[in-house]
Structure 1
Amino acid sequence: MDRIDAMRAFITVVTEGSFTLAAERLALSPQLVSKHIAQLEKHLGARLLNRTTRKLHLTEAGTRYFQRAQQVLSDISDMENELGDMQAHASGLLRISAPASFAIRHMAKLMIDFQQAHPAVDIDLQINDRKVDIVEEGFDIALRIGHLKSSSLIAKRIAPVRLVMCASPEYLQQHGMPKSLQDLKAHRYLRYSYLEDDANQLAHRWLRSSDRARSNELVCNNGDVLVESAIAGAGIALQPTFISGAAIKEGKLTIVLPEYEPEPLTLYAVYASRQLLANKVKCFVEFLDGYYGDRPYWDQFD
Structure 2
Amino acid sequence: MDRLQTMQTFVRVVETGSFSAVAREQSTTQSAVSKQVAALEKYLGVRLLARSTRSLSLTDEGLRYFEETRRLVGEISEAEAHLRQGERTLSGPLRVATAVGYGLRVLLPHVQSFMQLNPDVQLDFKLDDGYVDLVEQGVDVAVRLGALADSTLIARRVATSQRLLVVGKKYIKKLGKSKPLPRVPQDLLSHDCLIYTGLRTRNNWEFSTADGSSVAVRVHGPMQTNSSEVLRASLLAGAGIGYMPDWTFADLLASGEVVVLMPQWQVPPIPIHLVSPAARKHSAKVRAFNEHIANALRVE
Superposition TM-score, scaled by structure 1 size: 0.62
Post-superposition Cα deviations, 1:81-119, rounded to whole Å, max 9, x if no partner, equal: 515448933210101111111112223322220011111
The amino acid of 2:105's aligned partner reads R
Distance 1:183 1:166 in 2: 14
Distance 1:192 1:254 in 2: 18
SS in structure 1 at match of 2:144: strand
Task: Give 1:260's match in structure 2, choosing from 257, 265, 275.
Answer: 265
Are 1:87 and 1:279, in contact at CA under 8 Å, matched by a contact in 2?
no
Question: What is residue 71 of structure 2 aligned with on the other side?
Answer: none
Question: What is residue 182 of structure 2 aligned with on the other side?
Answer: 178
Distance 2:170 2:281 in 1: 55
Q: CA deviation at 1:272?
A: 2.5
Task: Determine if the alignment matches structure 1 residue 278 to structure 2 residue 276.
Answer: no
Distance 2:191 2:78 in 1: 64
Post-superposition Cα deviations, 1:207-237, rounded to whole Å, max 9, x if no partner, equal: 535xxxx6x6222221221222212222101
Task: Determine if the alignment matches structure 1 residue 217 to structure 2 residue 227.
Answer: no
Post-superposition Cα deviations, 1:7-62, rounded to whole Å, max 9, x if no partner, equal: xxxxxxxxxxxxxxxxxxxxxxxxxxxxxxxxxxxxxxxxxxxxxxxxxxxxxxxx
Distance 2:284 2:190 in 1: 54
Are 2:159 and 2:297, in contact at CA under 8 Å, matched by a contact in 1?
yes
Task: Give 1:208's match in structure 2, choosing from 218, 223, 244.
Answer: 218
Distance 1:80 1:96 in 2: 17
Aligned counterparts, 1:120-159, within 5 A: 120-149=120-149, 151-159=151-159
The verdict on how the C-alpha distance between 1:190 and 1:150 changes in structure 2, with shifts beyond 3 A counting, is closer
Task: Give 1:243's match in structure 2, choosing from 236, 245, 248.
Answer: 248
Aligned counterparts, 1:185-196, within 5 A: 185-195=189-199
Distance 2:78 2:205 in 1: 52
Distance 1:219 1:280 in 2: 38
The amino acid of 2:253's aligned partner reads I
The verdict on how the C-alpha distance between 1:274 and 1:159 changes in structure 2, with shifts beyond 3 A counting, is farther
Superposition TM-score, scaled by structure 2 size: 0.63
User: Which has a greater percent of strand?
Assistant: 2
> What 5-or-longer segments of structure 1 have no aligned partner?
1-77, 297-302
Q: CA deviation at 1:203?
A: 3.0
Are 1:147 and 1:199, in contact at CA under 8 Å, matched by a contact in 2?
no
> What 5-or-longer segments of structure 2 have no aligned partner?
1-75, 208-214
Question: What is residue 293 of structure 1 aligned with on the other side?
Answer: 298
User: Which has a greater percent of helix?
Assistant: 1
Aligned counterparts, 1:38-77, within 5 A: none
Are 1:189 and 1:207, in contact at CA under 8 Å, matched by a contact in 2?
no
The amino acid of 2:239's aligned partner reads A
Question: What is residue 31 of structure 1 aligned with on the other side?
Answer: none
Are 1:187 and 1:235, in contact at CA under 8 Å, matched by a contact in 2?
yes
The verdict on how the C-alpha distance between 1:225 and 1:87 changes in structure 2, with shifts beyond 3 A counting, is farther
The verdict on how the C-alpha distance between 1:201 and 1:170 changes in structure 2, with shifts beyond 3 A counting, is closer
Q: CA deviation at 1:150?
A: 5.9
Question: What is residue 103 of structure 1 aligned with on the other side?
Answer: 103
The verdict on how the C-alpha distance between 1:80 and 1:185 changes in structure 2, with shifts beyond 3 A counting, is closer
Distance 2:205 2:77 in 1: 53
Q: CA deviation at 1:198?
A: 4.6
SS in structure 2 at match of 1:124: strand
The verdict on how the C-alpha distance between 1:200 and 1:273 changes in structure 2, with shifts beyond 3 A counting, is farther
The count of corresponding residues between Structure 1 and Structure 2 is 212
The verdict on how the C-alpha distance between 1:171 and 1:81 changes in structure 2, with shifts beyond 3 A counting, is closer
Q: CA deviation at 1:244?
A: 1.4
The verdict on how the C-alpha distance between 1:87 and 1:144 changes in structure 2, with shifts beyond 3 A counting, is farther
* Coordinate RMSD, CA, aligned: 2.9
Distance 2:181 2:263 in 1: 12
Are 1:165 and 1:261, in contact at CA under 8 Å, matched by a contact in 2?
no
Taking every aligned residue pair, what percent have the same amino acid on both sides? 27
Are 2:78 and 2:92, in contact at CA under 8 Å, matched by a contact in 1?
no
Q: CA deviation at 1:284?
A: 0.1
Worse-matched range after superposition: 91-100 or 144-153: 144-153
SS in structure 2 at match of 1:90: coil
SS in structure 1 at match of 2:296: coil
